[in-house]
Structure 1
């Protein structure tokens, strides 16, 4: 008995319909009419951060981390759509994976994570 995964991610938005449409168009999330998002099995990190952490903006209480299978292709697609994608070599961690950051139209931070196992198989 215990938790088997995240059952949902709920947050407030100024324009919920427009924000859901943005996530569906650019990240493929919530495109189902319910909106249900069917995820693939894989690691999910659950990590509270110290109040003074500078890992993400101090005016935000949360940051969504999305596991991706091809960070370079997704980043190119997002940039082509006019979405700023930030990468920094110091964010990438051997054995953990590669990272990029974006913000949704309401300024919510999103970290894109390509796990190391995926990065190794994509490089092969």
Structure 2
């Protein structure tokens, strides 16, 4: 495969109070926060509009499982189905099935330290405000 990961799709972390954390970042660092956190927009080397999501989660979230870490990375990929096939052949642990939403496809793997990684084949246009 030519491109596996094309960028960081999101930074997700646990916090005692996600609402207060979003407010703090909004007030002190100028984050444009919403219910999900903050979306950062950028352009890739081809000039395509892309997004990266910053999201605080509650401390008791099960979303990062089976990882025991306080964070989870989301990486942008071009062809999730093909990448998961390649990773599986390479012996990488695949978690669950591909999930599809209007904003893209998601797959999950574990890295060599047991950290859950979210792989995202995005449809960025869904997030654009009109």
TM-score interval (norm. to shorter) = 0.5 to 0.7
**TM-score of the aligned structures, taking structure 1 as reference length:** 0.55
Give the count of matched residue pairs: 80
Runs of 4+ in 1 over 6 A off after TM superposition: none
Q: How does 1:20-35 map to 2 (within 5 A)?
A: none
Q: Whose helix fraction is larger, Structure 1's or Structure 2's?
A: 1
Does residue 42 (structure 1) correspond to residue 47 (structure 2)? The answer is no
Q: Whose strand fraction is larger, Structure 1's or Structure 2's?
A: 2
Structure 1: how far apart are the matches of 2:104 and 2:64? 18
Report the aligned-residue RMSD.
2.6
**Equivalent residue, structure 1, for 2:72:** 63
Gaps of 5+ in 2: 1-7, 12-42, 126-130
8 A contact 1:87–1:99 mirrored in 2: no
**TM-score of the aligned structures, taking structure 2 as reference length:** 0.53
Q: How does 1:69-84 map to 2 (within 5 A)?
A: 69-84=78-93
Structure 1: how far apart are the matches of 2:79 and 2:96? 14
Structure with bigger RCO (C-alpha 8 Å, 6+ apart): 2
8 A contact 2:111–2:117 mirrored in 1: yes
Gaps of 5+ in 1: 1-5, 10-38, 119-124
Per the alignment, do residues 117 and 44 of structure 1 end up closer, same or farther by CA in structure 2, a change over 3 Å counting?
closer
